[in-house]
A and B are shown apart, each in its own frame.
Chain A
Amino acid sequence: MTALLELAEVARHFPVRDALGRARGAVRAVDGVSLAVPPGSVLAIVGESGCGKSTLGRLALRLIEPDAGAIRFLGEDLRALSPRALRARRRDMQMIFQDPFASLDPRMTVEDAIAEPLRLHRIVPRGGERARVAELLERVGLRPEAARRWPHEFSGGQRQRIAIARALASGPKLVIGDEPVSALDVSVQAQVVNLLRDLIRDLGLTFVLISHDLGVVRHIADRVAVMYLGRIVEEGPAAEVFADPRHPYTRALLAAVPGMGAKAVPIEGDPPSPIAPPPGCRFHPRCPHAEALCRAEAPPLAGGAHAAACHLQSRLPPPPVLRGPDRGGERLRRLQSFFGAPAPQPETTGINA
């Protein structure tokens, strides 16, 4: 099956200038990334601050221009599109941002915010907007009365629902969420994670989740790509990457997730600067397994459907078993089932029809 979204050797460097405006090097934010997202699947891009995951998300929608590489949407190179054709394409590709306080215009009512993409892409006939907005609001778990109110009247979780409704308004095929639940408190985060899961399933969305939170990723993603200093170090089916991580960095990330009872020795040091990444494998200065080869040569991403960019991947010791103790057991699960009741969902809303 052809991919809905395909990135081939995409790179983007940002020049770094000194106080006098002279170029002093470049931040290699994304440095040769290839990815394919099949339709109807959820790909998560994970990594720590500065790894390039947000830049990659913006490149994928051509919100910023790549320096090199190709970005294909349904086989069509986005870089070849005229500005006008690109605008029309945007109907099919939408983004949800982290901060619901910054992503909604405070001077627009909720209805105007959600109806704007409808008008822009002339999606519903004149006069039909109100009904569609009400439908979208219901879809994201808000009352239709919300339409006449202003963003400041809503909590962070509700605003994020509004931002999701706006992103869905044009009936996109692809949605990219850049840390869409990171700013939310855990109880509200769970509501929005469940909502995203439902929307992805019910609307058949193709979703790219950019996140630093491995727990959220585990609950939403089908496939996972792990980024470190502008490159993908591991990519594969979510279940496999979590159960059998092949790159030492992925292992370190998983071991550092708090709450697993693992008192593993954390990896040392900070991520190096993306302005002057280390030669060879970029992870080698922090890697407990690094050898001479790792310092000299950058490893390719190899291994097929579950690939890792590590020279030593066939020789690494087996990964530690990450299993949080089942502390609460059956009792806790049964108690939690009282909190599992899904929010009432309308049967079909025809958003993508």
Chain B
Amino acid sequence: MRPPVLEVIGLTVEFATDRGPLRAVDGVSFRVGAGETLAVVGESGCGKSVTSLAIMGLLPPGTRLGGAVRLLGEELLGQPGRAWQGRRGRDLAMIFQEPMTSLNPAFTAGEQVAEALRLHEGLAPRAAMDRAVEMLARVRIPEAARRARQYPHQLSGGMRQRVMIAMALACRPRLLIADEPTTALDVTVQAQILALLDELKRETGTAVVLITHDLGVVADHADRVAVMYAGRIAETAPADTLFARPEHPYTVGLLGAVPAIEGGAGRLASIEGTVPDLRRPPPGCRFAPRCPFAGRDCEAQPPLAEVGAGHAAACWRAPLDRMLAA
């Protein structure tokens, strides 16, 4: 069997802080196959962005990493030194929320896309620029040749994010990590960018890890979902299953907390309280202090256990139908 494009096994990430160690990611495992989109969803501080930075090898030196990150079967974390060198931008690429901070203001859009092609594909400057213009046209930038000569500040937010996508996909990476790629954009532009990402993924078979807080985006664009809470995966399932039969109370609350445009006005489900301080996490299930179903047994950590086909939840109460029967 071919290995998945990305396999993360028991990943832990620990930062040293003034007030003691902070374990931002605590035993996260998932895999992503070619042409598949895995959405990692959760709220601020759940560890979703730290997970993506760990996969990219972009965490600051001194961060303590544990577990395994395998790209095409090859371990990245265990290797001394420069496991990512030559792979970033080529085999794995990333797009960030804020394109303005990720683009170099001193180079034109075309130069920045061409740089990746020169570096990783060894193209001559002229050929690289031609391919860059082609890439800009592929991400539907109108008048690509003219836009290629413009600087980031001359482009709109949506246009900049397209340039970022062109850069990330120029070398046809096997894995693309998109960290809140449309959060800074207006909703009509967001729809354009997400449709574009779907289309490019279908064409190239790139595996995509989509980091987002937006369950609507997950519903429309993900094949599988991992819901994170306080550094751990609370639930993972095929996207359709997650929305039809969520089995973790956090997922249930989160789905009810999103104000929907259909269904009219009414009270939203609300998860009382706030996320725990990861320097002093509660014992056992980290969601227990906010969970309406919690009991004494939740002081022991529930395993991420299978509840259906490809569907696992870290909850002693799953399947939750028992809660309704009671």
Contacts and interface: CB of A to CB of B under 8 A. Distances in A.
Contact of B267 (A238, A335, A340): A340
Nearest to A185: B43
A298 interface: no
Contacts of B264: 218, 239
Interface in B235-261: 240, 243-246, 249, 252-261
A215 B261 contact: yes
Nearest to A330: B324
B55 to A, nearest CB: 23
Given A212-B187, A256-B191, A258-B214, A187 B324 contact: no
Which of A157, A186, A331: most chain B Cβ within 10 A?
A186
Given A48-B186, A258-B219, A339-B271, A331 B257 contact: no
B215 interface: yes
Contacts of B272: 191, 341, 343
Contacts of A336: 252-253, 255-256, 269
A158 B272 CA distance: 12
Interface residues of A, number: 62
B310 interface: no
B262 A324 contact: yes
A202 interface: no
Interface stretch (A16-24, A102-110, A113-121, A263-271): A263-271
A322 interface: yes
Interface string B177-210: 0000000001111111011000000000000000
A214 B261 contact: yes
A213 interface: yes
Contact of B268 (A158, A194, A328, A331): A194
Contacts of B137: none
Nearest to A195: B270
Contacts of A187: 43, 253-254, 257, 270-271
Contacts of B244: 327-329
Contacts of A158: 274
A220 interface: yes
B188 A252 contact: yes
A324 B263 CA distance: 9
Nearest to A158: B274
A224 B268 CA distance: 20
B229 to A, nearest CB: 10
A293 B158 CA distance: 29
A47 B260 CA distance: 17
Nearest to B221: A258
A109 to B, nearest CB: 21
B137 to A, nearest CB: 15
A4 B269 CA distance: 32
Which of A238, A256, A342: most chain B Cβ within 10 A?
A256
Given A239-B264, A335-B252, A259 B191 contact: no
B104 interface: no
Given A187-B257, A219-B268, A342-B267, A259 B186 contact: no
Interface in A30-66: 48-49
Interface in B265-307: 265-272, 274, 292-293
Given A218-B265, A259-B214, A328-B246, 6 more contacts: A215-B260, A256-B191, A258-B214, A258-B221, A261-B219, A328-B243
29 contacts: A48-B187, A155-B274, A186-B257, A186-B258, A189-B257, A189-B259, A190-B269, A193-B259, A193-B268, A194-B268, A194-B270, A214-B187, A214-B261, A219-B265, A254-B261, A258-B220, A259-B260, A263-B195, A322-B261, A327-B240, A327-B244, A335-B246, A335-B249, A335-B252, A336-B255, A336-B269, A339-B253, A340-B269, A343-B270
Complex A-B, nearest 10 residue pairs according to Cβ-Cβ distance, in ascending order? A259-B216, A258-B216, A215-B259, A190-B257, A266-B191, A336-B256, A339-B269, A48-B186, A185-B43, A256-B191
Interface of A: 48-49, 155, 157-158, 185-191, 193-194, 197, 212-216, 218-221, 238-239, 242, 252-261, 263, 265-268, 270-271, 322-324, 327-329, 331-332, 334-343
